[in-house]
C-alpha cells in the first residue's frame, strides 16, 4: 500500500503537481513502485496463498521489502536487487504450480511472471524503465488473461479457444524481446498481441454472460468489459506510436492500459481476491460503481489531453485519476469496517 500511495503521488510529481517531499524524491521511481513493488507484491501474495506453502510467501515478502527499502532512501540498486530476487521466487512458484497442473491458464500465468522477472533483471542490469516497460506490461496483461481464462474454464470448453489465447499471449512477449533490437517492429508486434488478447477476452470471457446478473457479479463483469475496451484502445495507441505517431500519445497509451485496463480489473476483483487473501469480509455495495465511473471519465480526460497535446487536460485528468484511486480505497476500507461490524453484531 505504501508503494501504491507514494507511487501514485510520484506520478503526480511527474506531471508537475505539488506533492509531499517523499513522493517528489521518488518521481523517477514511479513505474518501479507501481509495477514490481506494488503489483509484484500483491499478485505474488495471491499466488502464494493459492500454493499454500510457506516458502512461496518469500516472493511477496522480498518485493514488498524492496518497495519499502526504496522509499526509505536506500540505494536503488539494493531495492531493485530485492525486487528481482522476489520475482525469481515468484517465477519458481509459478513453475511449481505448472508442474502440479499442466493447464493452459497456468502456462499463460507463467509467461506473465517471466515478463516481470525479465523486466526486473534488465532494470538491475542498468536499463532504463522506458526500455523494459513492455516486459512489465506483458506481466500484467498475461496475468489478467490467465486468471480470466481460469475463471471461465467451465464456459470455455473448446480447447482450440484456450490454446488460441495461449498463442496470443506469446506475441507481446515476443514483441518485448524483439523491441530490444528493433524498437518499431517490436512495438508493432507487441501492440498486435495486446489487440488479439483484448478481442479474445471480449468474445469469450465469462463477463459477457455474468453482466446480465445482479449485485457483485454484474459489477465485476462491468469492470471487466470496461477494462477490455481500454486494452483495445491502448493497443491501437501503441500501434500508432510504432507507425510514427506523435510521442505525445505515449502517456495516453501507457495509462489506457495501466489505469483503464489494469485498475478496472483491480476494482472488479478486489471484492473477490482481497477477502480470500486477508480473510476479511467485504460486503458489496453499489457505491463501488462510483470510483469505477470516475476512473473511466478521468482517464478519458487524460487521454484526450495527451492525444490533443493539451497539457492542462492531461494534468487535471491525472489528478482526478489519483483522487479516484483514493476514493476507491476509502470505500473499500469502509466496506471492510462494515463487514467487521456486521460480524461482531451477529456474534453478539
Tell me, what's the pLDDT at 245? Answer: 65
Q: φ and ψ at 205, to 5 degrees?
A: -65, 150
Q: Is the pLDDT of residue 344 over 80?
A: no
What b/e readout covers 111-137, taking b as 16+ CB neighbours within 10 angstroms? bbbbbbbbbbbbbeeeeebeebbbbbb
Q: Is the dihedral of CA 125, 129, 134, 140 positive or negative?
A: positive
Q: φ and ψ at 128, to 5 degrees?
A: -75, 150
Mean pLDDT for 24-51 is 92
Tell me, what's the pLDDT at 229? Answer: 96
pLDDT tens digits for range 88-124: 999 999 999 998 888 999 999 999 999 999 999 999 9
d(CA 301, CA 281): 34
d(CA 273, CA 190): 29
Rounded-to-5 percentages of helix, strand, coil across the chain: 85, 0, 15
Average pLDDT, the chain: 91
d(CA 237, CA 231): 10
pLDDT tens digits for range 237-266: 999 988 886 555 788 999 999 999 999 999
The DSSP 8-state label assigned to residue 256 in this structure reads I
- Cα-based distances in Å from 311 to 102, 133, 237, 291: 49, 23, 18, 24
Q: Which of 99, 92, 80, 95 has its CA nearest to residue 28? A: 80
**Reported confidence tier of residue 342, pLDDT bands at 50, 70, 90:** low
Q: Which of 155, 142, 148 has its CA nearest to residue 201? A: 148
Name the H helices within 243-263: 250-255
CA 320 to chain centre: 19
The DSSP 8-state label assigned to residue 57 in this structure reads G
Q: What is the pTM of this model?
A: 0.93
Q: Return contacts of 4-11, CB within 8 angstroms, 24+ apart.
A: 4/33, 4/34, 4/38, 4/325, 6/33, 6/71, 7/32, 7/33, 7/34, 7/37, 7/38, 8/34, 8/322, 8/325, 9/322, 11/318, 11/322
Cell of 207: 463477463
Q: Is the dihedral of CA 160, 164, 167, 169 positive or negative?
A: negative
Mean pLDDT for 59-69 is 95
Q: Would you mind telling me the total number of residues written for the chain in this entry?
A: 348
Count CB-CB contacts under 10 A for residue 244.
7
Q: First and final CA of the chain: distance in angstroms?
A: 32
pLDDT tens digits for range 133-189: 999 999 999 999 999 999 887 788 788 999 999 999 999 999 999 998 999 999 999
The radius of gyration of the chain from alpha carbons, rounded to an integer in Å, stands at: 19
Amino acid at each position: 500500500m505504501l508503494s501504491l500511495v507514494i507511487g501514485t503521488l510520484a506520478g503526480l510529481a511527474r506531471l508537475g503537481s505539488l506533492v509531499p517531499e517523499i513522493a517528489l524524491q521518488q518521481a523517477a521511481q514511479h513505474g518501479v513502485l507501481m509495477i514490481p513493488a506494488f503489483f509484484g507484491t500483491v499478485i505474488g501474495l495471491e499466488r502464494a496463498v493459492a500454493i499454500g506453502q510457506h516458502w512461496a510467501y518469500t516472493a511477496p515478502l522480498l518485493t514488498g521489502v524492496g518497495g519499502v527499502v526504496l522509499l526509505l532512501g536506500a540505494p536503488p540498486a539494493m531495492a531493485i536487487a530485492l525486487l528481482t530476487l522476489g520475482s525469481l521466487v515468484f517465477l519458481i512458484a509459478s513453475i511449481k504450480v505448472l508442474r502440479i497442473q499442466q493447464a493452459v491458464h497456468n502456462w499463460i500465468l507463467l509467461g506473465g511472471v517471466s515478463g516481470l522477472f525479465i523486466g526486473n533483471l534488465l532494470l538491475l542490469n542498468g536499463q532504463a524503465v522506458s526500455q523494459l516497460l513492455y516486459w512489465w506490461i506483458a506481466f500484467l496483461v498475461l496475468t489478467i488473461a490467465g486468471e480470466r481464462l481460469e475463471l471461465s474454464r467451465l464456459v470455455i470448453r473448446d480447447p482450440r479457444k484456450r490454446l488460441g489465447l495461449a498463442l496470443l499471449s506469446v506475441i507481446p512477449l515476443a514483441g518485448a524481446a524483439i523491441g530490444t533490437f528493433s524498437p518499431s517492429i517490436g512495438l508493432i508486434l507487441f501492440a498486435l498481441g495486446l489487440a488479439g488478447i483484448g478481442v479474445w477476452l471480449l468474445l469469450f470471457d465469462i463477463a459477457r454472460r455474468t453482466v446480465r446478473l445482479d449485485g457483485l457479479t454484474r459489477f465485476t463483469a462491468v469492470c471487466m468489459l470496461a477494462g477490455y475496451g481500454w486494452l483495445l484502445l491502448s493497443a491501437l495507441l501503441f500501434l500508432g506510436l510504432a507507425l510514427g505517431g506523435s510521442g505525445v500519445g505515449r502517456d495516453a497509451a501507457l495509462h489506457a492500459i495501466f489505469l483503464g485496463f489494469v485498475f478496472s480489473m483491480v476494482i472488479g476483483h478486489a471484492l473477490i481476491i482481497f477477502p480470500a487473501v486477508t480473510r476479511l469480509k467485504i460486503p458489496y455495495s453499489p457505491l463501488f460503481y462510483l470510483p469505477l465511473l470516475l476512473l473511466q471519465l478521468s482517464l478519458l480526460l487524460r487521454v484526450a489531453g495527451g492525444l490533443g497535446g493539451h497539457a492542462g487536460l492531461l494534468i487535471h485528468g491525472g489528478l482526478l485519476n489519483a483522487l479516484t484511486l483514493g476514493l476507491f480505497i476509502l470505500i473499500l476500507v469502509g466496506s471492510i469496517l462494515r463487514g467487521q461490524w456486521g460480524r461482531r453484531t451477529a456474534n453478539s
